[in-house]
Amino acid sequence: MEILLQLVFSGIALGMIYAVIAFGYQLTFATSGTLNFGQGEALMLGALVGLSLVGNIHGGPYLNYWLMIPLVIVFGALQGAVVEWIGVRPALKIKSEFGWIMSTIALAIIFKNVAENIWGKDDLTFPSPLPSTPFQVFGANVQPMQVVVVLGALAMMLAVEFFNRKSIYGKAVVATSNDRDAAGLMGINTSMVITFSYALSSATAAFAGVLVAPLTLTGATMGAALGLKAFAVAIIGGLTSGMGAVVGGLILGIAETLTGFYISTGYKEVPGLVLLLLVLAIKPAGLFGKTAIKKV
Amino acid sequence: MNTIIKTCVATALVGWSLAAGAAEPIKIGVTGPFTGGSAPMGVSMRDGVKLAVADINAKGGVLGRQLQLVERDDEAKNERGVQVAQELINKEKVVGTVGFINTGVALASQRFYQEAKIPVMNNVATGSIVTKQFVGPENKDNYVFRNAANDTIQSAMIVDEAVVRQKHTKVAILADSTNYGQLGREDLERTLAARGIKPVAVEKYNLKDVDMTAQLLKAKQGGAEVVLTYGIGPELAQIANGMEKLNWKVPIIGSWTLSMGNFIDNAGKNGDGARMPQTFIQDATTAKRKAFIEAYQKAYKIDRMPSAVSAAQGYDSVYLLAAAIKQAGSTDGVKVREALENLNGTVEGVVTTYTKPYSHDDHEAIKPNMVVIGEVKNGRVVLAK
């Protein structure tokens, strides 16, 4: 029982990381029908910028861990806006169906290379703001930072949802995601809304980066694997549902740790991907997604 | 008159061509990962090699010619290694190559050196079969040499340390899914079986895995008293840190890669006490070692070598190759191989002083008595007590 609990706890912490990144995919998909394939790199950049502020690599530490978080979120927002401006807007303007795919991937590669030159190619340690000694919950060990990851991720997603439902700006986002042309006719500056959604999605990824960095190692290559897993999560959960991101993340995270223990660590990643194939075959909109009717 | 002019011209021509020949440098290839998770090994190896070449060139080079390095990053990728091998052989026309950090890259690339009859000196890759890839009746001669402690030696030492010295009977093996990890795992299992021990858990993980809970829990549930590892720095650090997450502390004993800077730094206090076989520890125990360490620190403005073992073995590999070229009196691959197999005199390196390091059937320079057990202590590798 303790074992199962331990595996589930680790799976939850891992799954929430996936969920936050997956949530970022959804934010941009909702407003513009496009995805930022550089979400993993946005996470990596956030983590590395955070490391420069709190670590001792660039003559620091300059800031306390908690004070660094808002700065990293601002940085993430700017980075997302740049991606939208350079990579996505031109594609949307010429109504290119798929141009944004290549341009966001290209930007992701550029960001990775830039990061390799600034921070080096090695993995670095991120100082943990909390003691890393685990405490016991029903006999299973949990690290304080793992709790912070789960709570932080949930808080971030709730804040975004709350903003979208309650504030006037959020309503503009929702309106744009429902029908971009109609929203435009109603006087909403939809291209501004799309830029905003990109900024928001990269900001969440950057935030996720500094959350997970104390648990994992930080380095220019940390984004690729996480970004890809999160993409699977977004598909499993459905690209139109914040709830789907959370559930999908938890399913994948827990499936990985359970398979690793009960079947074989060599097949750790298989069930999650089998699930992805099943979802695509049976319910292509994802577990929580709304089926969109696309005119051809 | 005519004859005199002709003689003059001829002499001048001969002299000129001889002079040109003397100025022509001897090209030596260097291949290793200078980027990615294995980079500390690759970069340290390359830095060691450069120091050796600078030393030799300062003393007039070999056969009156300077040594020239041709460096290529194989990125620890097998397919990239193959490209590098072909480029070094066919385009750069190297006389010999030193390098190969990753066992998988070595196994994929060596055949080109074997076919071209050019000696290749593995100065880091440790997979037991690396030097045995081209032996036996099919191949008359083997062009693959090594001056690193192979996995047969290392796995015996790891098991010895865990089972005999520390008296553990329940062991778990954690190895990565690369050729290196899996071949090492086989060696460990074989060595354990010879002592009648069956590991309580044998687990693998992928490079860049961020969660080791499942693997470590299995080891813990099996009642493991010690964890034996075969992997490289970053993931080894995840193992040490994962143990802390589970509040489970047992000794880690593993292959020499536990001495890598990126393990020591990323595992921090969790890495303290990890033990591994070492051919070289950054500790000035002899005059030669002292000079080498000081030269390294001065040249690369660094206090702790990222991978001291790689640097030392890289340094020695150049001296061994240079000694063979000198003895052969030629840069012809066949003659250099023959010279390597029958080296006269001694070659003083920083790992050891090599006396007859190779023979026709034995291409391993490092013998078990040259390897010691190191231990991570306060961010450094020291000799284990």
- DSSP-assigned states of every residue in B241-302: HHHHHTT----EEESGGGG-HHHHHHHGGGGTT-EEEES--SS--SHHHHHHHHHHHHHHT-
Per the listing, tokens 């986002």 go with: A173
Q: CB of B178 within 8 Å of any CB in chain A?
A: no
pTM of this prediction?
Answer: 0.85
Name which of B39, B211, B217 is nearest A3 (Cβ-Cβ): B217
φ, ψ of residue A153 in degrees (nearest 5): -65, -45
The pLDDT averaged over each successive group of 10 residues in chain A (296 residues) is: 89 91 90 90 96 86 92 97 94 86 94 92 86 87 91 91 87 87 90 93 94 88 87 89 89 91 85 89 85 56
Taking CA atoms, B231 is separated from A121, A160, B184, B368, in Å, by 18, 41, 9, 21
Contact B218 A261 (CB under 8 A): yes
Can you tell me the distance from the alpha carbon of A95 to that of B265, in angstroms, rounded to the nearest whole number?
49
Q: CB of A6 within 8 Å of any CB in chain B?
A: yes
Contact A14 B215 (CB under 8 A): no
Kindly state the DSSP code that residue B89 receives in the 8-state scheme. Answer: I
The CA dihedral of A249, A253, A259, A264, to the nearest 10 degrees, is 130
A255: left (phi over 0), alpha (psi -120 to 50) or beta: alpha
3-state secondary structure of B171: strand
φ, ψ of residue B353 in degrees (nearest 5): -100, 120
Can you tell me the distance from the alpha carbon of B309 to that of B320, in angstroms, rounded to the nearest whole number?
16
Nearest in space to B242 (alpha carbons), one of B231, B144, B350: B231
Residues from chain B that touch A146, judged by Cβ atoms under 8 A, are 245
- B74 with B31: CB under 8 angstroms? yes
The two tokens of residue A84 are: 């939208």
Query: Do strands B67-73 and B26-32 pair parallel, antiparallel, or not at all (unpaired)?
Result: parallel
Mutate which: A56, A216, A226, A259, vs B, most B CBs within 10 A: A216
Contact B39 A121 (CB under 8 A): yes
Nearest in space to B213 (alpha carbons), one of A12, A245, A18, A272: A12
The two tokens of residue B21 are: 């020949």
Taking CA atoms, A43 is separated from A108, A126, B360, in Å, by 11, 14, 54
Contact A124 B238 (CB under 8 A): no
Distance from CA of A148 to the nearest CA of B (A): 14
Q: Kind and range of the H or E element at A58?
A: none
Contact A123 B262 (CB under 8 A): yes
Nearest residue of chain B to residue A256 (CA atoms): B214
Name which of A124, A141, A258 is nearest B245 (Cβ-Cβ): A141
A264-273 burial by CB neighbour count: b if 16+ within 10 A, else e? ebeebbebbe
The CA dihedral of B5, B8, B9, B13, to the nearest 10 degrees, is 170
Name which of B39, B204, B221 is nearest A3 (Cβ-Cβ): B221
Can you tell me the distance from the alpha carbon of A227 to that of B5, in angstroms, rounded to the nearest whole number?
77
Contact B208 A222 (CB under 8 A): yes
The count of C-alpha atoms lying within 13 angstroms of the C-alpha of A38, restricted to the half-sphere facing its C-beta, is 34
Residues from chain A that touch B208, judged by Cβ atoms under 8 A, are 221-222, 225
Largest CA distance in chain A: 58
The two tokens of residue B262 are: 């990126």
Per-position pLDDT tens, chain B of length 385: 566 666 666 666 555 555 555 568 999 999 999 987 788 899 999 999 999 999 999 999 999 999 999 999 998 899 999 999 999 999 999 999 999 999 999 999 999 999 999 999 999 999 999 999 998 788 889 999 999 999 999 999 999 999 999 999 999 999 999 889 999 999 999 999 999 999 999 999 988 887 888 899 999 999 999 999 999 988 999 999 999 988 899 999 999 999 998 899 999 999 999 999 999 999 988 999 999 999 999 999 999 998 999 999 999 999 999 999 999 999 999 999 999 999 998 999 999 999 999 999 999 999 999 999 999 999 999 999 8
If you count them, how many residues does chain B have?
385
Q: CB of B40 within 8 Å of any CB in chain A?
A: yes
The two tokens of residue B224 are: 């493991």
- What confidence score (pLDDT) does residue B11 get? 61
The two tokens of residue A35 are: 């995805």
Q: CB of A1 within 8 Å of any CB in chain B?
A: no
Domain ranges of chain B: 26-149+284-367, 152-278
Can you tell me the distance from the alpha carbon of B259 to that of B44, in angstroms, rounded to the nearest whole number?
12
State which amino acid sits at residue B311: A
Domain ranges of chain A: 16-233
Name which of A3, A132, A216 is nearest B210 (Cβ-Cβ): A216
Distance from CA of A112 to the nearest CA of B (A): 13
Name which of B36, B247, B266 is nearest A217 (Cβ-Cβ): B266
Nearest in space to B353 (alpha carbons), one of B308, B328, B323, B383: B323
Distance from CA of B69 to the nearest CA of A (A): 23
- B302 with B282: CB under 8 angstroms? no
Superfamily covering domain B26-149+284-367:
Response regulator (3.40.50.2300)
The two tokens of residue B344 are: 């006269």
> One fold for both B26-149+284-367 and B152-278?
yes
Nearest in space to B357 (alpha carbons), one of B323, B308, B311: B323
Residues from chain A that touch B244, judged by Cβ atoms under 8 A, are 132-134, 143
Nearest in space to A135 (alpha carbons), one of A1, A14, A6, A11: A6
Distance from CA of B237 to the nearest CA of A (A): 9
Mutate which: A5, A6, A145, A254, vs B, most B CBs within 10 A: A6
Residues from chain B that touch A14, judged by Cβ atoms under 8 A, are 210-211
Q: Which residues 11-50 on chain A approach chain B with CB closer than 8 angstroms?
A: 14
B341-372 burial by CB neighbour count: b if 16+ within 10 A, else e? bebeeebebbbbebeebbeeeebbbbeeebbe
Nearest in space to B268 (alpha carbons), one of B383, B374, B378, B375: B378
Mutate which: B77, B245, B247, vs A, most A CBs within 10 A: B245
The two tokens of residue B191 are: 């060595």
Contact B211 A10 (CB under 8 A): yes
Superfamily covering domain B152-278:
Response regulator (3.40.50.2300)
